[in-house]
Amino acid sequence: MSQARLSDISGVPQTTISGIEGGKTPNVIIANKLADALNITVNDLLSDKQTT
C-alpha cells in the first residue's frame, strides 16, 4: 500500500507516515490510527518483524 493511500484511509499525514518509515516512533494516537487502517494490532505495527 502506498503512503498516500494509507494517509487517505487513516487520516494520518503522509509526511508523518514517511517519518515513521524512516525510523521515527509514532505516538499512541498515530499508532492506533495506522493499526486500525491496516486492520492490525499496534503491537504488530511496532514489531521489528516484517511479513511478506
- Residues 2-49 have pLDDT tens digits of 999 999 999 999 999 999 999 999 999 999 999 999 999 999 998 875
Cell of residue 41, nine digits: 494490532
Cell of residue 34, nine digits: 495506522
Number of structural domains (the chain) is 1
Q: Are 38 and 6 in contact (CB under 8 A)?
A: yes
Report the SS3 class of residue 46.
helix
Query: Considering just the CA atoms, what is the radius of gyration of the chain in Å?
Result: 10
Whole domain around residue 35: which residue ranges?
3-46
Q: Whose grid coordinates read 499512541?
A: 28
Whether residue 51 is contained in a domain is answered as no
Q: Are 37 and 10 in contact (CB under 8 A)?
A: yes
Whether residue 52 is contained in a domain is answered as no
Whether residue 40 is contained in a domain is answered as yes
pTM: 0.85
